[in-house]
Amino acid sequence: MGRKLLLEHINVPGINTFDVYRSKGGYASVEKALKTLSPDDVVEEVKKSGLRGRGGAGFPTGMKWSFLAKPEGVPRYLVCNGDESEPGTFKDRYLMTHIPHLLIEGMIVASYALGAKTSYIYLRGEMMPQIRILERAIAEAKNAGFLGKNILGTGYDLELYVQPGGGAYICGEETALLESLEGKRGNPRIKPPFPAIAGLYGCPTVVNNVESIAAVVPIINEGGDEYAKIGIGRSTGTKLISAGGNLKRPGVYEIELGVSVEDFIYGDDYCQGIANGKRLKAVVAGGSSVPILPANLILKTINNENRLMSYESLSDGGFATGTMLGSGGFIAYDEDQCIVRNTWNFARFYHHESCGQCSPCREGTGWMEKVLHRLEYGHGKMSDMDLLVDVSKKIEGNTICPLGDAAAWPVASAIRHFRDEFEWHVTNPSVAVTSNYGLAHYADPLPKPEAAEA
Amino acid sequence: MLSVQNTDAPVTFTPELLGKFADVVSRYPEGKQKSALLPILHLVQAELGWVSAPAMDKVAEYLKIEPIEVYEVATFYTMYFLKPQGKYMLEVCRTGPCEIVGATPIMEHIEKTLGVKEGDVTPDGLFSWRGVECLAACGYGPVLQIGPEYTFYENLTNESVDKLISDLKGKANN
Residue B105 and residue B55 share a domain: no
Domain boundary among B32, B56, B76: B76
Q: Give, in words, the CATH class of A339-434.
A: mainly alpha
Residue B1: inside a domain: no
Residue B160 and residue B119 share a domain: yes
State yes or no: pLDDT of A115 exceeds 90.
yes
Residue B96 and residue B70 share a domain: no
Residue B4: inside a domain: no
ipTM associated with this complex: 0.96
Residue B169 and residue B92 share a domain: yes
Residue B72 and residue B92 share a domain: no
What is the per-residue pLDDT across A198-255, written as a single tens digit (0 to 9) for each?
A: 999 999 999 999 999 999 999 999 999 999 999 999 999 999 999 999 999 999 999 9
Residue B10: inside a domain: no
Location of each CATH 3.10.20.600 domain in chain A: 239-334
Residue B128: inside a domain: yes
Q: Pick the residue with more confidence: B2 or A219?
A: A219
Residue B169 and residue B112 share a domain: yes
**Interchain pair B136, A90: CB under 8 A:** yes
Residue B72 and residue B108 share a domain: no
Percent of chain A with pLDDT over 70: 98
A422 in reach of chain B (CB within 8 A): no
CATH number of A18-229: 3.40.50.11540
Beta-strand runs (E) in A67-147: 77-82, 118-123
Residue B131 and residue B63 share a domain: no
State yes or no: pLDDT of A157 exceeds 90.
yes
pTM of this structure: 0.96
Nearest CA in chain A to B101: A245
pLDDT in the model for residue A454: 43
Q: In chain A, what is the greatest distance between 2 CA atoms, to the nearest angstrom?
A: 73
Interface of B with A in 85-114 (CB under 8 A): 94-97, 99-101
Q: What is the mean pLDDT of chain A?
A: 96
- pLDDT category of residue B104 using cuts at 50, 70 and 90: very high
Nearest CA in chain B to A242: B139
pLDDT in the model for residue B1: 52
Residue B139 and residue B119 share a domain: yes
Residue B3: inside a domain: no
Report the number of distinct structural domains present in chain B.
2
A1 in reach of chain B (CB within 8 A): no
A244 in reach of chain B (CB within 8 A): yes
CB distance A340 to A334 below 8 Å: no
- Which of A86, A128, A274 is best to mutate for the B interface (most B CBs within 10 A)? A128
What is the per-residue pLDDT across A333-352, written as a single tens digit (0 to 9) for each?
A: 999 999 999 999 999 999 99
DSSP A417-445: HHHHHHHHHHHSHHHHHHS---STTTTSP
Residues paired with A253 in a beta bridge: A241
**Interchain pair B69, A331: CB under 8 A:** no
Nearest to A169 among B42, B133, B148 (CB): B133
Mean pLDDT throughout A88-104? 98
Partners of B63 on chain A (C-beta within 8 Å) are 183
**Residue B58 is part of which domain span?**
15-76
Residues paired with A82 in a beta bridge: A123
**Interchain pair B139, A90: CB under 8 A:** yes
A85 in reach of chain B (CB within 8 A): yes
pLDDT in the model for residue A48: 98
Location of each CATH 3.40.50.11540 domain in chain A: 18-229
pLDDT in the model for residue A447: 78
What is the per-residue pLDDT across A263-300, written as a single tens digit (0 to 9) for each?
A: 999 999 999 999 999 999 999 999 999 999 999 999 99
What is the per-residue pLDDT across B11-51, written as a single tens digit (0 to 9) for each?
A: 999 999 999 999 999 999 999 999 999 999 999 999 999 99
Q: Give the Cα separation of B55 and B48 in Å (integer).
A: 9
Residue B163 and residue B112 share a domain: yes
CATH of the domain at B51: 1.10.10
Residue B81: inside a domain: no
Provide the terminal-to-terminal Cα distance of chain A, rounded to the nearest Å.
Answer: 40
CATH of the domain at B117: 3.40.30.10
Q: Shortest Cα distance from B128 to chain A (angstroms)?
A: 17
- Select the CATH number that applies to the domain covering A239-334 from these four: 3.90.950.10, 3.10.110.10, 3.40.50.720, 3.10.20.600: 3.10.20.600
Q: Which run of H or E residues covers position A384?
A: helix A384-395
Location of each CATH 1.20.1440.230 domain in chain A: 339-434
Q: Shortest Cα distance from A400 to chain B (angstroms)?
A: 18
- How many CB atoms sit inside 10 A of residue A277's CB? 8
State yes or no: pLDDT of A453 exceeds 90.
no
Percent of chain A with pLDDT over 90: 97
What is the per-residue pLDDT across A26-71, written as a single tens digit (0 to 9) for each?
A: 999 999 999 999 999 999 999 999 999 999 889 999 999 999 999 9
Half-sphere exposure of A430 (CA within 13 A, CB side): 0
- Which of B62, B72, B134 is best to mutate for the A interface (most A CBs within 10 A)? B134
Mean pLDDT throughout B132-136? 96
- pLDDT category of residue A449 using cuts at 50, 70 and 90: low
